[in-house]
């Protein structure tokens, strides 16, 4: 039986804001006592916390659709984002149009640019001992990479940062601000794409969007804007968060820093482990298309269901010693990027960005720690003040 | 992460393809890891008797 305590945790469950302070303890209690439950936040939603249930639902896109949107609460965009808020058959058509931009081969070609972005940001605080690595490394790094990749002017990144901030972090308590930010971002993307239409085709993300063909025709202006919107919001703070949380963890674990220093090749598995345990996307939502039984509950058509990736990724049934970060853990089939047809399109890029950014950071700073007296949260993109002990530029 | 490039490659969309359908014992560990690591449960390793 579900006891009152667990039931109260379920009713109050949320994967944003203060919910994240206690997320890992709550995940454990819910996985055991109430693996599928109902929360009263965000208009009311079911949540699923066990790995196998999450995985199964991800494979059943007919019963568990994404329309009207995958994000809970939504991101304030007026129309469904492409491709993430779109169901089959159009979903696959849209997705195929941009997938080649994120293939492993393409990411290999981008690596020198990604590394240069990391090195330049590190050079900018070389020699300083007390540094907020969130503001000066984790947040600007994916921004620089994305602007290069998309062909966006980098001198406007402050505007982008403000919109993204209001779209992601303000939506739980001031949705009007989120709506305005989403509208402004859409207008901005539209203006960039409009200006580019008259120019010669360039080989960047927006160039690909402009020349993409679906069903034998180019994308309409609305499709361009809705695809561009998702490309911009999906790849910035998600990666920034994980880079920051990776450094947050490493600052407190000298034994793992030493291990990575000794065997830099382990950064690859460490990145997977940070994604598994400290990821930015703690959950994504679906909508039930027909009445269905789930974990002893009767879900009705139209109900919203949150797949709590963060909880599934710490499920003991799938990952031994699941709450412990083991930087050389293998295998590590986590669902930080989701699974099934809606699996993150940018996962190859995110992984490469994280690996390169950590490699370059660790080369310069084999030793670093949290600034004494600071107690930064594991999540988000707020300041992460560190004391850097390394030797700086080599 | 590309596990076991001797056996798997990615197509232009990033979908994994199997290049070699039979491997010797020297690659068994790597393909078994790929099987366990695949987030889509898309890889099955079978033993030939």
Instruction: Say if A102 is an interface residue toward chain B (CB within 8 Å).
Output: yes
The pLDDT assigned to A291 comes to: 98
Q: Does B36 touch chain A (CB under 8 A)?
A: yes
Residue with tokens 């402009």: A210
Strand, coil or helix: A288: strand
Q: Which of B11, B12, B14, B29 to mutate to test the interface with A (most CBs of A within 10 A)?
A: B14
Number of other residues whose CB lies within 10 A of the CB of residue A88: 13
DSSP β-bridge partners for residue A298: A293
- The single-letter DSSP state of residue A376 is -
From the CA of B7, how many Å to the nearest CA of chain A? 15
Interatomic CA distance for residues A229 and A42, integer angstroms: 23
Which residue in A has a C-alpha nearest to residue B11's C-alpha?
Answer: A103
Assess whether the previous peptide bond of A365 is cis (omega < 30° from 0).
no
DSSP code of residue A220:
P
Measured distance CA(B15)–CA(B18) in Å, rounded: 10
CB atoms within 10 A of CB A359: 17
Pairing of strands A45-48, A304-307: parallel
Whether B39 sits inside 8 A of A339 (CB atoms) is yes
Contact A99 B37 (CB under 8 A): no
Q: What is the CA radius of gyration of chain A?
A: 21
Q: Which of A226, A284, A232 is nearest to A83 (CA)?
A: A226
In chain A, what's the furthest Cα-to-Cα distance?
A: 65
Predicted TM-score (pTM) of this structure: 0.97
B26 touches chain A (CB under 8 A): no
Contacts of B11 in chain A (CB under 8 A): 103
Cα→Cα distances A284→A59, A64, A65, A297, A338, Å: 14, 12, 12, 20, 8
Supply the pLDDT for residue A391.
67
Q: Do B12 and A103 count as a contact with CB atoms less than 8 A apart?
A: yes
Taking the C-alpha atoms of residue B29 and residue A336, their distance in angstroms, rounded to an integer, is 25
Q: Distance between CA atoms of A216 and A214, rounded to whole angstroms?
A: 5
The set of residues, in sequence order, having a beta carbon less than 8 Å from that of A290 and lying 6+ positions away, is A63, A301
> What is the domain partition of chain A in residue ranges?
4-390
Q: What pLDDT is recorded for position A377? A: 98
Q: Look at residue A161 and give its three-state secondary structure.
A: helix
Residue of B nearest to A332 (CA): B37
Q: Above 90 in pLDDT, residue A28?
A: yes
Q: What pLDDT shows up at residue A392?
A: 64
Q: Give percent of chain A above pLDDT 70.
A: 99
CA distance from start to end of chain B: 31
Which of B13, B39, B41 is closest, CB to CB, to A99?
A: B13
CATH number for the segment(s) A4-390: 1.10.630.10
A100 and B12 in contact by Cβ < 8 A?
yes
Cβ neighbors of A47 (< 8 A, separation 6 or more) are A10, A13, A30, A36, A37, A38, A39, A283, A305, A306, A308
**The two structure tokens encoding residue A23:** 């997320």
**What pLDDT score does B2 carry?**
66
CB A21 within 8 A of CB A377: yes
Distance CA A113, CA A166 (A): 28
**In this model, does residue A154 exceed pLDDT 90?**
no
Q: Is B17 on the interface with A (CB under 8 A)?
A: no
Number of C-beta neighbours around residue A125 at 10 A = 17
State in Å, rounded, how far the first CA of chain A is from the last one: 60
Rounded to the nearest 10°, the torsion over CA A253, A258, A261, A264 is -70
pLDDT reported for residue A198:
87
C-beta separation of A166 from A172 below 8 A:
no
pLDDT at site A139: 97
B45 near A CB under 8 A? no
What pLDDT is attached to residue A140?
97
3-state secondary structure of A254: helix
Q: DSSP letter string over A348-374?
A: HHHHHHHHHHHHHHHHH-S-EEEPTT-
Examine the pLDDT at B26 and tell me if it is beyond 60. yes
Q: What torsion, rounded to 10 degrees, do the Cα atoms A245, A248, A254, A255 define?
A: -20
Residues of A in contact with B13 (CB under 8 A): 96, 99-100, 103
Neighbours of A226 (CB within 10 A): 23
Q: Count residue pairs from A and B with Cβ separation < 8 A.
A: 42
Token output for A343: 């699996």
The answer to whether A343 faces chain B, any CB pair under 8 Å, is yes
The Cα–Cα gap between A368 and A389 comes to 5
Residues of chain A in contact with residue B12, where contact means CB-CB under 8 angstroms, are 99-100, 103, 105
Instruction: Examine the pLDDT at A61 and tell me if it is beyond 60.
Output: yes
Adjacent-strand bridge partners of A54 = none
Residue A76, SS3 per DSSP? coil
pLDDT in tens, A330-382: 999 999 999 999 999 999 999 999 999 999 999 999 999 999 999 999 999 99
Among A209-213, A336-340, B2-6, the least confident range: B2-6
A334: nearest CA partner in chain B? B39
Cα angle at A317 between A31 and A246, to 5 degrees?
A: 80
- Residue B36 has its nearest CB partner, among A331, A335, A343, at A331
Give strand pairing partners of B16: B10
High-pLDDT (> 70) share of chain B, %: 96
pLDDT band at A156 (very low <50, low <70, confident <90, very high): confident
Q: Judge: B39–A333 Cβ closer than 8 Å, yes or no.
A: yes
Q: Which pLDDT score is estimated for A179?
A: 97
């Amino acid at each position: 039986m579900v006891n009152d305590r667990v039931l109260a945790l379920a009713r109050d469950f949320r994967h944003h804001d203060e919910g994240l302070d206690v997320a890992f303890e709550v995940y454990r209690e819910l996985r055991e006592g109430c693996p599928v439950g109902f929360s009263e936040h965000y208009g009311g939603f079911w949540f699923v916390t066990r790995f196998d249930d999450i995985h199964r639902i991800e494979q059943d896109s007919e019963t568990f659709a994404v329309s009207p949107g995958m994000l809970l609460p939504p991101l304030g965009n007026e129309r469904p984002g492409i491709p993430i808020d779109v169901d089959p058959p159009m979903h696959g058509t849209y997705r195929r149009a941009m997938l080649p931009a994120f293939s492993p081969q393409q990411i290999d070609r981008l690596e020198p640019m990604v590394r240069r972005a990391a090195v330049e940001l590190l050079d900018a605080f070389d020699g300083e001992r007390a540094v907020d690595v969130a503001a000066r490394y984790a947040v600007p790094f994916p921004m620089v990479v994305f602007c290069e990749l998309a062909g966006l002017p980098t001198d406007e990144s402050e505007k982008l940062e403000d919109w993204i901030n209001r779209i992601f972090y303000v939506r739980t308590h001031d949705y009007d601000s989120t709506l305005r930010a989403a509208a402004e971002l859409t207008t901005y993307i539209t203006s960039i794409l409009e200006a580019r239409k008259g120019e010669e085709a360039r080989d960047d993300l927006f160039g690909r969007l402009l020349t993409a063909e679906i069903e034998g025709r180019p994308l309409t202006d609305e499709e361009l804007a809705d695809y561009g919107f998702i490309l911009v919001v999906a790849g910035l703070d998600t990666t920034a968060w994980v880079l920051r949380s990776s450094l947050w963890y490493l600052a407190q674990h000298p034994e793992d820093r030493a291990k990575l220093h000794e065997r830099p090749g382990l950064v690859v598995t460490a990145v997977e482990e940070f994604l598994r345990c400290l990821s930015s996307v703690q959950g994504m939502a679906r909508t039930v298309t027909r009445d269905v039984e789930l974990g002893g509950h009767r879900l009705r058509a139209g109900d919203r269901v949150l797949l709590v990736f963060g909880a599934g990724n710490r499920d003991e049934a799938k990952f031994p010693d699941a709450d412990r970060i083991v930087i050389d853990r293998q295998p590590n089939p986590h669902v930080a990027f989701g699974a099934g047809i809606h699996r993150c399109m940018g996962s190859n890029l995110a992984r490469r960005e994280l690996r390169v950014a950590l490699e370059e950071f660790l080369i310069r700073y084999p030793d670093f720690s949290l600034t004494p007296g600071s107690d930064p949260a594991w999540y988000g993109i707020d300041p992460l003040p560190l004391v850097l002990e390394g030797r700086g530029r080599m | 992460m590309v596990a076991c490039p001797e056996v798997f490659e990615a197509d232009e969309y990033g979908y994994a393809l199997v290049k070699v359908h039979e491997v010797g014992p020297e690659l068994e560990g790597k393909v078994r890891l790929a099987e366990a690591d695949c987030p889509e449960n898309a890889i099955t390793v079978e033993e030939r008797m």
